[in-house]
Chain A
Amino acid sequence: MGSIRVISSALRPPKLRSAGREAGRLALAFVGALTVFGAFVIAKGANPLTVYSDMVRSTFFNSNSVAGVLVKACPLILAALAVAVPARAGLVNVGGEGQIVIGAVAAGGVGLALDTHVSGGMVIILMLLAGAAAGAIWAGIAGVLRLTLRVNEAISTLLLNYVAIDILLYLIYQPWKDPHGSGQPVTRQLAVPARLPLVGGTQVHVGIFIAIIATLVIWFLMERTSWGFRLRVVGGNSEAARRAGLPVNKLLLSAMLVGGALAGLGGMVHFAGAELQLRAGMTANLGYIAFLASWLARHKPINVAIAALLLASIAVAGDSLQINSGLPAATVNVLMGLVLVAVMGGWELRRKAVAA
């Protein structure tokens, strides 16, 4: 009896009122997180109201910071989509960090080898291809291991993150190190024509369009094509999908490859648009933040992009903490964590409301 009620209520179209309630709950979660974070700020001897107003003012009412948010959002949106696509098929991709790194390394290898020989536009196209291919291969390793040897992909992608970071470190400490630099373990900077062009007179590079286009394409693929539909069937019940004659393994692998390519693109965009050189710690946990953005938005492509933008603005707000309040920039991780705790804590309530 109960299950029939659940099914019938799930079939009913969502009501505006429940959407409003959802928004209210999210707002409440956000306020709760801000309050707890405020307590931490007080414990550090700073005034939370000043801190918050500084954060908002310097993040959203300052053209450089708004540009900073958009620049940070580029790789984040792409890497978050890289979690969302496999998630639709029931796969857990925790390897965004490594796929970004490998994408950046591949783009860096191609870019730094060719930027003084070939025209800028050509280099950019080759870097895009190299980044996407490298990310796809990196995620594909985990995908193949899962399908042939049943190695859990959540664990293998996580481990491969560290291998990717070690590859980056190996390259920048030895073969690719800038011989004319100050001795720091970094590559030389990408030549100007090969960098992603800036939009208008702003600090934002065209990577943001790549991210937006990718979001729309993935939305279309997920919601409007048979590939997207089949992925969701496999993610819902892979055994049923197999009996219905779907090529489950091919679908799972395709989801993983597309995901990896997206994250690899994110690495390319981050390298050729923002960092312009390979250095240690250049990804700054972007892959893990992206994972959370995708979960926050329950893997719906458009919402994923919005969640990534939100987390990017929180991350950029961290810089204002450092400048205005003298708190370390990484402090903002507490705020981000608390927002996520509050939102996740509110999830079951929503599900109960649906079931009732």
Chain B
Amino acid sequence: MSLVLDVAAGAVGGGTSILYAALGETISERAGVINLGTEGCMLVGALTGYAVAAMTGNPWFGVVAGAGAGGALAALHAMLVIERKASQLASGLVMLFVGLGITSLFGGSFVSRTINAFTPIALPGLSKIPGLGKVLFDHDALTYLSFLMAPAIWWLLFRSRWGLLIRGAGERGEVLAAYGYSPKTIQYLAVVAGGALAGVGGAQLSTAYTNSWFEGMTAGRGFIAVALVIFAAWDPLKAIAGAYLFGAALALSPALQARGYALNQFALDALPYVITVLVLVVLSRKRLHAAPEGLIRTLANAPVR
């Protein structure tokens, strides 16, 4: 396979877990809550998904359990920031440490277990399309699900009544309250949904992409997802492009090495972060304009009382 197709297929496969987390974080941030604990939610999702898949023999149970675990950790974050008005950034980092700790406490016994993992399914017909078929239509079921998830969440946010409420909670909670809705409840639901999607992303990583569990396996993907949401201007469809860009950067160096090119892997690894900073620089005004107002208040707020 040519290098381009190889990297493109790797980008889709490796970017899927990031995409799920970024979609979840988009919902959460649209409701005005940033969750740096996305990394922790992915970790607990990865372990729970792997453990349940190992115990039940069915990876789909694993995905559901992973979503539950990610959602539960996000619920703790939601409680701290919504009820207790804790700093969103600090609380998110606390969730990271809780996630790191819980997964190392309970993960040890699953390191050497094997599971019935998700296997790539070549879609009949579609996978035969030259080039594109191999890139898009020879993946695991969770990757196909993510193809549908991104537009579904776009529709949820921008075409449904629920989306209006979520965005309302993120822009002007008072207005929602005046109309008799509880902005707190909506924020809770959005943050938990975001954590659940991050959990699915983690489960995709462990039960479909690497087929293994090891400590700290998410390796910063959750942080990438948070950055990606800003890169994508809080738009689920643009998040697809961002996730695959990061996936491509991850896939490029092994693909080059396999062909005998001696490229320094770490210069390449740094690329997605540098690109994101540059994108923020180039589009900074526009991006800030697109940000939910509640989020701008959070990020710009003086943290000292």
B273, CB-defined interface residue at 8 Å: yes
A338, CB-defined interface residue at 8 Å: yes
Q: What CA separation (Å) do A292 and B80 show in the bound complex?
A: 14
Q: Which partner residue on chain B sits nearest A288 by CB separation?
A: B93
Among candidates B76, B79, B266, B280, residue contacting A151 with C-beta atoms closer than 8 Å:
B280
Q: What CA separation (Å) do A327 and B281 show in the bound complex?
A: 45
From known contacts A40-B105, A291-B90, infer whether A173 and B96 are also in contact, taking CB-CB under 8 Å. Answer: no
Q: What CA separation (Å) do A348 and B223 show in the bound complex?
A: 28
Among B76, B93, B223, B230: residue with most chain A CB under 10 A: B93
Q: How many A-B residue pairs have CB under 8 A?
A: 170
Complex contacts, A149 vs chain B, CB 8 Å: 281, 284
> Which label, helix, strand, loop or mixed, suits the secondary structure of the A interface?
helix
From known contacts A88-B304, A94-B89, A235-B302, infer whether A150 and B288 are also in contact, taking CB-CB under 8 Å. Answer: yes
Q: Which partner residue on chain B sits nearest A162 by CB separation?
A: B273
Complex contacts, B104 vs chain A, CB 8 Å: 328-331, 333
A173-190: CB near B (< 8 Å → 1, else 0) gives 110000000000000000
**Min CB gap A131→B, angstroms:** 21
Complex contacts, B87 vs chain A, CB 8 Å: 295, 344
B97, CB-defined interface residue at 8 Å: yes
Question: Are B266 and A337 in contact (CB-based, < 8 A)?
Answer: no
B245-278: CB near A (< 8 Å → 1, else 0) gives 0000000000000000000111101100110110
A166, CB-defined interface residue at 8 Å: yes
Among candidates B86, B226, B270, residue contacting A347 with C-beta atoms closer than 8 Å:
B86
**Min CB gap B171→A, angstroms:** 18
Which residues from 296 to 318 on chain A have a C-beta closer than 8 Å to any C-beta of chain B? 298-299
Question: Are B304 and A337 in contact (CB-based, < 8 A)?
Answer: no
A90, CB-defined interface residue at 8 Å: yes
A66, CB-defined interface residue at 8 Å: no
Pick from A111-119, A153-161, A210-218, A262-270 the stretch touching chain B.
Answer: A153-161
Q: Which partner residue on chain B sits nearest A354 by CB separation?
A: B305
Question: Are B270 and A87 in contact (CB-based, < 8 A)?
Answer: no
Complex contacts, A299 vs chain B, CB 8 Å: 303-304
B279-299: CB near A (< 8 Å → 1, else 0) gives 011001100100000000001
B195-233: CB near A (< 8 Å → 1, else 0) gives 000000000000000000001000010010011001000
Question: Are A160 and B277 in contact (CB-based, < 8 A)?
Answer: yes
Q: What CA separation (Å) do A145 and B281 show in the bound complex?
A: 7
Q: What CA separation (Å) do A236 and B302 show in the bound complex?
A: 7
Among candidates A285, A298, A335, residue contacting B304 with C-beta atoms closer than 8 Å:
A298
Q: Which partner residue on chain B sits nearest A236 by CB separation?
A: B302
Question: Are B101 and A332 in contact (CB-based, < 8 A)?
Answer: yes
Q: What CA separation (Å) do A340 and B89 show in the bound complex?
A: 13
**Min CB gap B157→A, angstroms:** 21
Question: Are A156 and B277 in contact (CB-based, < 8 A)?
Answer: yes
Complex contacts, A340 vs chain B, CB 8 Å: 90, 94, 97
Q: What CA separation (Å) do A160 and B83 show in the bound complex?
A: 31
B55, CB-defined interface residue at 8 Å: no
B181, CB-defined interface residue at 8 Å: no
From known contacts A235-B302, A328-B108, infer whether A336 and B284 are also in contact, taking CB-CB under 8 Å. Answer: no
Q: What CA separation (Å) do A330 and B215 show in the bound complex?
A: 9
**Min CB gap A348→B, angstroms:** 5
Question: Are B266 and A169 in contact (CB-based, < 8 A)?
Answer: yes
A64-102: CB near B (< 8 Å → 1, else 0) gives 000000000000000000000001101010100000000
Complex contacts, B302 vs chain A, CB 8 Å: 90, 235-238
Which residues from 134 to 153 on chain A have a C-beta closer than 8 Å to any C-beta of chain B? 145, 149-152
Q: Which partner residue on chain B sits nearest A164 by CB separation?
A: B270
B161, CB-defined interface residue at 8 Å: no
Question: Are A159 and B277 in contact (CB-based, < 8 A)?
Answer: yes
**Min CB gap A118→B, angstroms:** 30
A282-298: CB near B (< 8 Å → 1, else 0) gives 00010011011001001
Which residues from 10 to 59 on chain B have a C-beta closer than 8 Å to any C-beta of chain A? 36
B241, CB-defined interface residue at 8 Å: no
A232-246: CB near B (< 8 Å → 1, else 0) gives 100111100000000
**Min CB gap A47→B, angstroms:** 15
Complex contacts, B303 vs chain A, CB 8 Å: 87, 90, 92, 235, 295, 299
A334, CB-defined interface residue at 8 Å: yes
Question: Are B273 and A335 in contact (CB-based, < 8 A)?
Answer: no
Q: Which partner residue on chain A sits nearest B272 by CB separation?
A: A162
A345, CB-defined interface residue at 8 Å: yes
Question: Are A345 and B86 in contact (CB-based, < 8 A)?
Answer: yes
From known contacts A150-B285, A167-B270, A344-B84, infer whether A338 and B277 are also in contact, taking CB-CB under 8 Å. Answer: no
Question: Are A162 and B280 in contact (CB-based, < 8 A)?
Answer: no
From known contacts A90-B304, A162-B223, A173-B266, infer whether A344 and B90 are also in contact, taking CB-CB under 8 Å. Answer: yes
A224, CB-defined interface residue at 8 Å: no
B100, CB-defined interface residue at 8 Å: yes
From known contacts A90-B302, A151-B284, infer whether A331 and B94 are also in contact, taking CB-CB under 8 Å. Answer: no
What would be 15 A-B contacts, judged by CB atoms less than 8 Å apart?
Answer: A40-B105, A88-B304, A145-B277, A151-B280, A155-B299, A158-B226, A159-B227, A166-B273, A236-B302, A288-B93, A299-B303, A327-B105, A328-B104, A340-B94, A341-B76
Binding site for A on B (CB under 8 A): 36, 76, 79-80, 83-87, 89-91, 93-98, 100-102, 104-106, 108, 215, 220, 223, 226-227, 230, 264-267, 269-270, 273-274, 276-277, 280-281, 284-285, 288, 299-305
Which 9 A-B pairs give the minimum distances between C-beta atoms?
A333-B101, A334-B101, A90-B302, A337-B98, A330-B104, A166-B270, A170-B266, A344-B86, A337-B97
